[in-house]
Structure 1
Amino acid sequence: MTKYSRNEGHEEASLTLRMPSDEVDARTSRLSIGELLGRYEEFCNDTKSGKEMYPWASRFAMGYPLPSWQRQFKWTEEQKQRFIHSIWSGVDLGSYLVNELWEHQGAEGQLHFRKFSEVLLDGQQRLTTLQEYVTNGFAVKDAAGIPRYWRDLPKVERRRFSLITFTKATVSSWDEEVLRKVYDLRAFGGTAHTEEERALPNG
């Protein structure tokens, strides 16, 4: 094995060289899926937290507004089922990325959210899939291989699902160009796998 030292060659490096810095103050919070479901309930049932608070947005996922530059939903039925199955199976879900919330009071005394408040920058496919699942949009096979909708599940299983961690990452910027840059960094940072690269055939 080739020897490695993290500081090898640093003596010859220019002291004025700088790599990209954090422009958006990114931070993470270990939240549960139950907290996401609670947010979605409030979004659907309370006009003070619903679409009226985001007049600049036309699409939403689990109550989070989507920016105009977000692509449309792309996942297939199989991809959606695989994601929900991975939640039940305890697989790490990674994180979804949103902008922070900025609430202000308008001249008429009503509260408003600043444009790009809580905008979803990464995670649309996963959060939209989660929303479809908990609103009975599609079924996922249970431990016996029988397709089950959310409405079919007993409370104990719904509670288990709700307790699973789904980390939220938050950035802080009101500059649309910066937010677009963050979106591109998250959306175009990887290479899609091919069928031949599956670890399990037909898995």
Structure 2
Amino acid sequence: MSFTIAENRRMPNKVELGQPRASTMGAPMMQLSSWQREPPPSADRYVMGFRLPAWQRGLVWTKRQKISFIESAWRGVPLGTYSFNRAPLGSPLDDLLIDGQQRMNAIECYLRDEFAVFGWRWSEVTEVDQRVWEMAILFESYVTATEDEDYLRSYYDLLNFGGTPHRKSERASNGPN
């Protein structure tokens, strides 16, 4: 991921994060459904039907963090984005999830009834609620289209190593977590 400075400019051009897509929970649910019907030949790790690169950290969210994320989704709180790559079919970089593994895992665990949210497991919410989840809960994404693994690694690093984690003492409220 290189930064270039155009003539007559001092600041770098925007980083190419791929095409933004306004989408709902239905998009990753379709990815999971497609994967369940026809699993790809091989990869060590998957979440919601997306491949996880070997260089990405493992799962770290607690059950409480997963529940909090799903509660936020139901309440309409902005969920951030997830990023994935589309490469030619058969490429080891096709359907590679670059960012959003923890959030996607929370969704998958919820859909598998591994925990309840607001007292209800996924299979216990009404069909109307399930449709609202799929069609009205926003979860936007960025889609890249590259076969350059170094670019994808740089993208991952850019999104995941720029901030400083908050300490519990820095919370604005005494809420859960």
TM-score by length of 2: 0.88
The residue that corresponds to 2:164 in the other structure is 191
What is the SS of the residue equivalent to 1:165? coil
Q: Say whether 1:77 aligns with 2:31.
A: no
- Correspondence 1:94 to 2:71: no
Match of 1:160 among 126, 129, 132: 132
Q: Which residue of 1 aligns with 2:146?
A: 173
Alpha-carbon distance change, 34 to 197 in structure 1, aligned in 2, over 3 angstroms: same
8 A Cα contact 2:81 2:100, kept in partner: yes
Please identify the structure whose Cα radius of gyration is greater: 1
Change (3 A) 1:32 1:21: closer
Alpha-carbon spacing, 1:70–1:152, altered in 2? closer, same or farther (3 Å)? same
Kept in 1, the 8 Å contact 2:50–2:96? The answer is yes
Extract unaligned runs of 5+ from structure 1.
1-13, 104-112, 142-146
Deviation at 1:19, TM superposition (A): 2.2
Identity %: 32
Off by >2 Å, runs of 4+ in structure 1: 14-22
Match for residue 27 of structure 2? 35
RMSD across aligned positions (CA)? 1.8
Decide which moves more: 27-36 or 126-135: 27-36
Q: 1:32 is matched by which residue type in structure 2?
A: T
Give the structure-1-normalised TM-score: 0.77
Task: Output one character per residue of 1:61-110: Cα deviation in whole Å (capped at 9) or x when no partner.
Answer: 1000000001110001110110000000000111101112312xxxxxxx
Aligned: 1:51 with 2:40? yes
Q: 5+ residue gaps in structure 2?
A: 1-6
Paired residue total: 169
